[in-house]
Amino acid sequence: MTLLAPRTASVRTRPNPEIADWVDDIARLTTPDEVVWVDGSTAEWDRLTKEMVAQGTLIRLNPEWRPNSFLARSDPADVARVEDRTFICSVDPDDAGPTNNWRAPSIMRLELSELFSRSMRGRTMYVIPFSMGPVGGDLSQFGVQITDSPYVVASMALMTRVGDDALQAMTPGTPWVPALHSVGVPLIDDNGVRRDDTAWPHNETKYICHFPETREIWSFGSGYGGNALLGKKCFALRIASVMARDEGWMAEHMLIVRVTSPEKKVFHLAAAFPSACGKTNLAMLAPTIPGWKVETIGDDIAWMRPGPDGRLRAINPERGFFGVAPGTGPSTNPTATQTIWGNTIFTNVALRDDGDVWWEGLTDSPPAHATDWEGNDWTPASGTRAAHPNGRFTVTADQCPSIADEWNSPDGVVIDAILFGGRRPSTVPLVSQARSWQQGVFMGATMASETTAAATGEVGRLRHDPFAMLPFAGYNMADYFAHWIAMGELLGDKAPQIFSVNWFRTDADGRFIWPGFSENARVIEWIVGRLEGDLAARATPIGGLPLAHELNLEGLSVGVDEIQAIIDLDKPAWQREAAAIAEYFGTFDETRFPAELRRELDRLTRDLGPDVTPS
């Protein structure tokens, strides 16, 4: 076995010796048949996809409907992130905090080394040099992923900047994150007997481990995107959040959009939403109100750092979108639907008889017959879903028709406002503005989604997902809150304004009051009006609320009383909310929890007044 295999002739320079030594060490541990350095070329993509089609990992879609696109079907036991097998392996368990799983790094390394030992026998070991963000940008970071999954190689090529350019930029002394992955299924057993591969190899034992002090990622056993595409959540959030804390910047689970008003004034917004709260729809918003334009910079992750002028600048560190397919269609997100016209890898969706893909929500009427995500015959009468609820599409961002020209700018964009939002049928108004950075951090720290009777049998139970980072903060969440407070002090009067939004208020019949989707542009219009100082806001204990007549409601079939209900302060509901927040804050270590947030809670409780709700 050689370090540079014959299929890596396009690597024009000897890699960083530190990288080369690490690759040699991993090759000795995992004992693959061959080591291939990924160059990021079109020829490489074509070769890999052809090999995967021959293996059965990919199905080539009908090029008349979906050119250069493929469908993958994972094993039913490997379809989503495995949060219970995801660990922060900090030296001090308190540095992982109460919201993360922790394992001692020395013990975890020993266990992982045993699992990885000879795990790639009979397979090719791919070395993927990659850049998160434009290569060489001041806000960008480098990584090298090792994997034995060609599906991961192809997906990383869509999601990050992979190949020769990234490798050549990693000169000696350049920081980079080592990221090791294996599906954990060697093709040669301990007796030297070779076995046939499967279309989707994976191991029942799964680990996704992060070592924050050494900036390392080890992932074993899963081939699914969130567990195996290590540039995404593992690097861009869990490891990067630690880097950001130590270096004075921010790695956030946020979309970024460019908003242009009818007067051609430009604003950039970053927004954090938990799952199923309209994040991708806002990232690709097509406004219904005349004269407004929203362009996409990123749909999932924002890295933000103070620029030379002291203002917060952000990049989207990813190259592509790894979006949830079910529910995405022309009526809900036409921009996303247009983005995936071709050059896309689909995973765990249905295959139509004409060779195109389908999922629930793609069209108003289902096909009369399809092959479901598990490879079974399916009709609308089957009584099962054709696509897995977590079925995905992976595609480069530059295919998005709403992509902004500066989405790939190494300098990033200045962030004018930050939005936080959850799925709340009651209590939280349509939009509110924080009176200060501290209150804005309080909004982010108390983000939650509210359960319904249909979902859990218990109405109104809050599931907190602070800053939409619950599964993704790479260190103690209380310290993460404190870092947000510290960033506000660093930014001072140049800090972005912070807003809370909630598209999900319902009436007594459970019907959504606000139409959502493209109509959310009306809320963005109000936010821009506040940034420009053109619109007023009513001061309340929970922030500034809009005046009904200053919301653009022209053409909406929503009653004035209904609008008033979702933009008002519901004092009894917020008194209950404050009590729930106090209980939630009590789950954190008192010595690490920021005093500023406790003061915000005390102020909220005081300003709301005593709870006079009859017992």
Q: Which residues are catalytic?
A: 277
Alpha helices (runs of H) in 310-461, residue ranges in sequence order? 334-339, 437-445, 453-456
Using DSSP's 3-state secondary structure scheme, residue 290 falls into coil
**DSSP code for 480:** H
Contact indicator for 431, 548 with CB cutoff of 8 Å: no
Strand (E) or helix (H) holding 156: helix 150-159
Find where tokens 């922060």 sit. Answer: 88
Q: Which of 255, 327, 266 is nearest to 531 (CA)?
A: 266
Two tokens, residue 127: 């070395």
Two tokens, residue 428: 């939280």
User: Can you tell me the distance from the alpha carbon of 594 to that of 423, in angstroms, rounded to the nearest whole number?
Assistant: 26
CA torsion, ordered 334, 339, 342, 347, to nearest 10 deg = -80
CA contacts within 13 A on the Cβ side of 153: 27
User: Can you tell me the distance from the alpha carbon of 166 to that of 317, in angstroms, rounded to the nearest whole number?
Assistant: 14
327: burial class by Cβ within 10 Å (0-12, 13-18, 19+)?
middle
User: Can you tell me the distance from the alpha carbon of 518 to that of 286, in angstroms, rounded to the nearest whole number?
Assistant: 5
* 255-260: strand order across its sheet: 293-298, 255-260, 266-272, 417-421, 497-501, 431-433, 543-545, 538-540
Two tokens, residue 193: 């007997």
Q: What angle, rounded to 10 degrees, do the helices at 595-608 and 477-491 form?
A: 90
User: Can you tell me the distance from the alpha carbon of 183 to that of 224, in angstroms, rounded to the nearest whole number?
Assistant: 9
User: Can you tell me the distance from the alpha carbon of 398 to that of 407, in angstroms, rounded to the nearest whole number?
Assistant: 9
96: burial class by Cβ within 10 Å (0-12, 13-18, 19+)?
buried
Using DSSP's 3-state secondary structure scheme, residue 182 falls into strand
Neighbours of 119 (CB within 10 A): 22
**DSSP code for 201:** -
User: Can you tell me the distance from the alpha carbon of 270 to that of 299, in angstroms, rounded to the nearest whole number?
Assistant: 10
The residues, any chain, with a CB within 8 Å of residue 455's CB and separated by 6 or more, are none
